[in-house]
Structure formats: structure tokens, C-alpha cells
Amino acid sequence: TGTKDNGGGGPPMLLLPSGEQQVIVACRIRPMTDEEKLEGAMPIAHKVADDNVVVLLDPEEDHDNALRANRSRERKYVFDVVSDKDADQQEVYASSSKLLLSSVLEGYNATVFAYGATGAGKTYTMLGTENNPGVMYRTLHDLFVEIKKFEGKREYQVTMSYLEIYNELIRDLLAPSSSFLELREDAKGTIQVAGLSEIAAKTPEEVMDMLHKGNRARTQEPTKANKTSSRSHAVLQVNIKQRDINRSHTDQVRFAKLYMIDLAGSERAAQTQNTGKRMMEGAHINRSLLALGNCINALSEKGNTKYVNYRDSKLTRILKDSLGGNSRTLMIAHVSPASIHFEESRNTLNYADRAKYIKTKVRRNVVDVSYHIAQYKQIIQDLRNQVQLL
Ligand code: ADP
Ligand code: MG
């Protein structure tokens, strides 16, 4: 069951076999960039050594004033996992999406999403560089390794889709020249992206190639705040279907859906002081991220009594299951350590702090094929009997 394996190396986290599951919240503080150093920024976001605590220092607050007013210059945040400049890509992966991999293989849905302001390190964590790949590649790499262990025993089908939400429009990153795609709800209420390409990848190299091609197709336009600001959400969806090939009589089919999402920058459009088209895009980004924030607020409310409006944006419609439904969900909040990004870091940390209180309800996606076959056999028998009666 889901409790036995946390993926190793990670903190002792409860992955319950079924039922209510808290959203796992991780925080990554990236190293200071050369630009930040050149601007004379001071480090204000720290990981407490050997702990899952982030300390954020208010650079504006004068130390003596704070003391007199009995205020603290510091705010402490507790998360499930915290990594800082000393953590490499493999460590961040090992303490995040790797924890969900064994449960995905057991037939549980999972979602990993990167949150944070532009420049905070989301794409570095999720995609990484060709030489030092991130969470998306490492997860798929290990998924293939796991699958190989069952060669000859289990049959696997792994397919992938990669889409972008930009300006509330959905584009297929694996077929960038195709037209915008629409969301549809199937009979069970599951959201589908109509016409989205699904590619069967067999090797980690193919995946790597696909991810980088897809990422180059992402909409990236320069803004005043950031030259390579990304205002789009990139959603990688991996579908895993598996079947035991030896036990034909108790034939179970397991399905799992794994989302890995690189969200657009969470900073406010107003802060970039943009106008015209940029502003409109900003407003749209806010629509998806605002809707996400509203959902997180409603879901983290005690007793979970508030109405959760998933229908407000494309992003929340796609993430409906990941946030309030059948999925083990992990959020990686990203912050810069620099004093010049204090406001953004504080917003991100507050947001992540609320996400801790979200609970999802997980169950394994297992279909007992033999049960269905037995039912069909009965129906056929009944029909035969009826024919003979005629
Ligand atoms: P975002 O996707 O959140 O806008 P990026 O991932 O593009 O931010 O990161 C901004 C810059 O910081 C990039 O140049 C990236 O290479 C660098 N960077 C981000 N995180 C790290 C890290 N953990 N270690 C080293 N460099 C990083
Ligand atoms: Mg990015």
C-alpha cells in the first residue's frame, strides 16, 4: 500500500493508502543571482539548518524600532520540505516528486506544481537545463527504471501531453502550430482537453527531447520587469496504464495520471507597471492564478465548507482533481533569497502556508477487468437463453 514507501531519503511523510491526504508543501530558495548581487541585495530568506523552516527577514523593518514596538523582523514558515542554495537538482527531486512515484505506480493520481514569482526558479526546478535536468525529466526517468523492473510481468502504456495556458488559451506544446484547444467534461465529470496530442515515449532521451522542444514553443515575451518573463502555465500530463500479464483470471488494470506543472509568475501585473497588451495578459494571468488562489483559500478553510469555484479559469478547471479531488498533490514554492524581492517572497510564502491546509481524497484507480468480463459472460448467456426461447 501507499504507506510503505516514501521513496527513500525523504522526510517521514504520511502517504495514506486511501482517503484524506494533506497537500505536501515544499519550498526551494534558490542561490542569489549575479544581477541581485550587483544590485547590492542582501540575503533575507534562509533555511534553518537541518530543518524544514524558512525564516524571512523584513529588510525595511529597523531592528531597534521592531524591538521597541515588540514586533519581530522575522517571520518563520514551516513546510514539509525546505531546500536552499546547497540543494542540487537530484536532492530537490528526491524530496519532492520522487515521493509520489511509487504511489503513482500503484494507481494513484499525483500532481506536482511549481509556484512563485518570475525569476524565483520554477522552470529551473521543473525543466532544468539539458545538462542538469529538473523534476519533469527525473520523474520520468525513474518511472521508466521502475517499469523496466517489471518487464515480462506487467504491461505498461505511458503517454504524455504537454500544454500551455497563455491568456486563458490552451496550446498544444507538442504540436505548437495547431489551433487553440477547448476543455470538455466527460460523462464522469473529468476534464479533457479536446484534440490534445498524446505521445508514447519509451526512453528518457525521447522525453528530454520532447520537453525541451515543447518548452521552446512556450510563449515568452519580454516585459519591463523581466526579460524572459514567462506568463504562461506549462502543464505536463503523464498517463500510466498497467496490467498484470501473468494473472489472466484476476486481471486488474491500473490507471494513474501524473501532472507536473510550471506555473506562470505569481507577481502582480501592477508591479511590472505595464500597459496595453502586457497589462491585459497580466490580467489574464491573474485570472488563472487568482482563481487558483481563491480555490486554495476556499479549500484550506477549516471544515472545507466554502464553495470552491473551479470554473473561473482554465487552470483551475484542469487542476480540479489535483486540488480537491483524487490526487496526491505537492506544491513547490519558489523564492529568491534577495532583499529586493521581499514582497514577492512574502506573498509566495504566505500562499504556500495556506496550501498546507488543503486536503484531497485519494483512491486507487483500479478496474477489475475479470469482474467486467464475468458480467459480460452473464449477459451473453442471458441473451443466448432468450434466443433459444424464441
Ligand atoms: P522562473 O521560471 O521562476 O521565472 P527561472 O527558473 O527561469 O525562474 O530562474 C531564474 C534564473 O535563476 C535562471 O537564470 C535560472 O537558471 C536561475 N536559477 C533558478 N534556480 C536556480 C538554482 N536552484 N540554482 C542555480 N540557478 C538557478
Ligand atoms: Mg519560468
Ligand 2 centroid distance, CA of 229 (Å): 7
ipTM above 0.95, yes or no: yes
Residue type, 357: Y
Q: Which ligand 1 atom is at minimum distance from the Cα of 120?
A: 3
Cα 44 to ligand 1 centre (Å): 17
- CA–CA separation, 107 and 200 (whole Å): 18
Question: Is residue 119 annotated as involved in ligand binding?
Answer: yes
Segments in the chain below pLDDT 70 = 1-18, 63, 66, 70-71, 220-229, 247-251, 268-286, 302-305, 368-375, 390
Residue 122 in contact with ligand 1 by CB distance below 6 A: yes
**H runs (alpha helix) in the chain:** 34-38, 63-68, 89-94, 98-105, 122-126, 135-149, 204-216, 276-300, 314-318, 320-324, 342-355, 369-389
- Residues 179, 172: Cα–Cα separation, whole Å: 8
Ligand 1 site, residue 254, Cβ cutoff 6 A: no
Mutate to test the pocket of ligand 1, among 124, 220, 345 (most ligand atoms within 8 A of CB): 124
pLDDT in tens, 367-383: 766 656 666 777 787 78
Residue with cell string 505595464? 274
**116 labeled part of a ligand binding site:** yes
Instruction: Point out the ligand nearest to the CA of residue 121.
Output: 1
Among 14, 204, 10, 207, smallest CA distance to 91 is for: 10
pLDDT for the residue 8: 38
Residue nearest to atom 17 of ligand 1 (CA): 121
Q: Kindly state the cell numbers that stand for 213.
A: 522542444
As a whole number of angstroms, the distance between CA 31 and CA 74 comes to 20
pTM over 0.90: no
Does the Cβ of 339 fall within 6 Å of ligand 1? no
Q: Confirm or reject: Cβ of 93 under 6 Å from ligand 1.
A: no
The strand pairing partners of 242, in sequence order, are: 156, 254
State whether the beta carbon of 33 lies less than 6 angstroms from ligand 1.
yes
Measure 78 CA to ligand 2 centroid, in angstroms.
Answer: 25
Q: Are 334 and 115 in contact (CB under 8 A)?
A: yes
Q: Which ligand is nearest to the CA of 30?
A: 1
Residue 129 labelled as part of a binding site: no
CA 338/CA 349 separation, integer angstroms: 14
Q: Which atom of ligand 1 is the closest one to the Cα of 117?
A: 3
Distance CA 206, CA 101 (A): 20
> How far apart are the CA of 120 and the centre of ligand 1, in A?
6
Query: What's the CA-to-centroid distance between 121 and ligand 1, angstroms?
Result: 4
50 C-alpha to ligand 2 centroid (Å): 28
Q: Which atom, in ligand 1's list, is nearest to the CA of 129?
A: 16
Short-list 235, 232, 254, 233, CA closest to 243:
254
pLDDT at 98: 93
Q: List Cα–Cα distances, 151 to 1, 145, 207, 323, in angstroms.
A: 21, 10, 20, 34
Ligand 1 atom having least distance to the Cα of 126: 6
The answer to the question of whether 305 is labelled as a binding residue is: no
pLDDT at residue 75, rounded to an integer: 93
